[in-house]
Amino acid sequence: MEMKVYNSLTRQVEPLTPLADDTIRLYTCGPTVYNFAHIGNFRAYTFEDILRRVVQFNGMKVKQVMNLTDVDDKTIRGANAAGVALTDYTKTYKDAFFADLRKLNIQPAEIYPAATDHIPEMIALVEKLVEKGVAYKSDDGSVYFAVTKFPGYGKLAHIDFDHQRTGARCAADEYDKENVGDFALWKAWEESDGPVGWDSPWGRGRPGWHIECSAMSMKYLGETFDLHTGGIDNLFPHHENEIAQAEAATGKPFVNTWMHCAHLRVNGEKMSKSLGNFFTLRDLLEKGWSGREIRYVLINAHYRQGLNFAFSALEDARKSLERIDRCVDALSGKVGQLDGRDTEKGEVPEWAAKALEDFTAAVNDDLNIPRAFAALFELVRHANAALASQPPNLSPSQLRGILGVFFRMDEVLGVIFFGKAEKTDVPAEVQALLDQRAEARKAKNWAESDRLRDAIAAAGWAVKDSKDGQAVTRR
């Protein structure tokens, strides 16, 4: 079965097939690390996580690059207001971002390039655009892209800009279609930038936001690659500008498929920092919701449909997960398996095979996760009925086969066996702490054992003791 997705560039649902090596090369616009990411941002990141998981579910490989915007108007303002160096200021939020990704069981990207580590690449790209005559230096030492010089400008946003070209300039990173104009590739240093700035052929300054993504995506994924995503607010001007910069420089098509997720809203408005109507992941964890429940809510709506945030959705998620857990625990209790990893070789009853088939069709139909959940609940319903039948009519092989279907579905959803990590998933440094703790317990050194439990907790893992030894789960 072929995986199909909606391409914002062509406005059609199309097959997603790799350009080379069975690998989908994917660029996802990452966070601006000036604050804790809010759960609206995580709607975009969970959508991208589902996307990469479905690609892998279909037997293809993924090479994902997610940038970290660690220099822009907002990060500079934040660092200067706090009176700390830009790198120290952004480090706090980079670390928090990675911790949050783990809490939501989001698979890590292959590469997380930071903008400040790629200034030479950005300068080189701007130089190329100046050489080609599509970019020019302004009097203050900034460099602008001349949108009139790139005939394809507007093709992603599906807007014909021909009649509104005015030669006006836009220095801000974000702006509306109404004030389209030449956009900044390089921004000359200003008083408010304080100590932040790099030397360039045009004098001291810093890169614009858009050039960052063109330079880093092409560095790691090539001049033409498969897939580029972001929230719908990134489509214009950010992605439109990325296309203009890349294609004007290389003369080649930049990206085959563009995908955008709709916004997470609160009372009908986009959840955003500037509107002040946001929750961070931490806010919700503090209120007693788990990363697993939050993930469930974020993924259980079609990514192209607006999702209104409400606490009642978290309550529903909790109930749905309990229903799944009861069923999976009953199945695994009978065969003594913690999760479904080793169970795929079991015999799969017809109704379970049908559920998997429906699930596969749903995820391959432009990531239809709500329909995929419906297939999962059909599986739960049938399994519960089979478990309740008297006399019992599921063989050990069938129990394993059914668990294997849950496991296969969870390769995409990442909510069923959440936290039931195998030993192999535990990072080496946590494993080292676990080994030390096992030693301490053998020596009946309980104080040391408790200290190590806290150290393991600080690293994001929870340890429980049982007669079989230590069991560790993600916190």
Binding partner of residue 43 among ligand AMP, Zn ion, none, CB cut-off 5 to 8 Å per kind: ligand AMP
User: Which residue stretch of 24-32, 278-286, 329-337, 360-368 sits at the interface with Zn ion (rule: CB under 5 A)?
Assistant: 24-32
d(CA 371, CA 388): 26
Using rule CB under 5 A, residue 213 touches Zn ion: yes
Residue 365 DSSP one-character state: B
The residue number with the shortest CB distance to ligand AMP is 231
By beta-carbon proximity to Zn ion, the closer residue of 233 and 378 is 233
By beta-carbon proximity to ligand AMP, the closer residue of 115 and 170 is 115
By beta-carbon proximity to Zn ion, the closer residue of 31 and 404 is 31
Among 81, 83, 61, CA closest to 73: 81
242 and 96 Cβ atoms separated by less than 8 Å:
no
Residue 451 C-beta-side C-alpha neighbours within 13 Å: 7
Binding partner of residue 60 among Zn ion, ligand AMP, none, CB cut-off 5 to 8 Å per kind: none
Alpha-carbon dihedral sign for residues 399, 402, 407, 413:
negative
Strand partners, 307: 264
Among 9, 16, 26, 29, binds Zn ion (CB under 5 A): 29
By beta-carbon proximity to ligand AMP, the closer residue of 261 and 375 is 261
By beta-carbon proximity to ligand AMP, the closer residue of 7 and 332 is 7
Binding partner of residue 213 among ligand AMP, Zn ion, none, CB cut-off 5 to 8 Å per kind: Zn ion
By beta-carbon proximity to Zn ion, the closer residue of 213 and 413 is 213
- CA distances for 170 relative to 56, 85, 162, 461, angstroms: 40, 28, 17, 47
459 and 427 Cβ atoms separated by less than 8 Å:
yes
The single-letter code of the amino acid at 51 is L
- In angstroms, give the least distance from the CB of 47 to ligand AMP: 8
- CA distances for 385 relative to 81, 331, 381, angstroms: 61, 12, 6
Instruction: Looking at residues 128 to 147 of the shown chain, list those that interact with Zn ion (rule: CB under 5 A).
Output: none
Q: Which residues bind ligand AMP (CB under 6 A)?
A: 29, 31-32, 40-41, 43-44, 230-231, 233-234, 261, 263-264, 270-272
Using rule CB under 5 A, residue 244 touches Zn ion: no
Using rule CB under 5 A, residue 375 touches Zn ion: no
d(CA 415, CA 419): 9
Dig out the tokens for 223 from the structure: 């001049």
List residues binding Zn ion (CB under 5 A): 29, 213
